[in-house]
Amino acid sequence: MDLITHARQLSPLTLAFLGDAVFELHVREKLTEKGSAPVGSLHRRAVDVVCAKAQCVAAQQIAPLLTEEELSIYKRGRNSHSSVPKNADPAEYRSATGLEALFGYLHVCGNLEREKELFEMIWKEIGE
Q: What is the pLDDT of residues 93-108, one digit of tens each?
A: 999 999 999 999 999 9
The 3-state DSSP class for residue 112 equals helix
Question: Looking at the annotation, which residues are catalytic?
Answer: 20
Work out how many domains the chain is built from and give that number.
1
Give SS3 for 110: coil
Range of the domain at 59: 3-126
Q: What is the pLDDT of residues 40-59, one digit of tens each?
A: 989 999 999 999 999 999 99
Q: Alpha-carbon torsion 63, 69, 70, 75, what sign?
A: positive
CATH of the domain at 94: 1.10.1520.10
pLDDT value of position 128: 59
Banded pLDDT at 24 (limits 50, 70, 90): very high
CA–CA separation, 11 vs 50, rounded Å?
Answer: 21
Q: Is the pLDDT of residue 83 over 90?
A: no
CA nearest neighbour of 17 among 107, 116, 79, 91: 107
Mean pLDDT for the chain overall: 92
Answer whether 56's CB lies under 8 Å from 92's CB: yes
Amino acid at 89: D
Q: What is the mean pLDDT of residues 2-24?
A: 91
* 8 A C-beta contact, residue 118 and residue 19: no
86: Cα separation from own chain's centroid? 21
For the entire predicted model, the pTM comes to 0.93
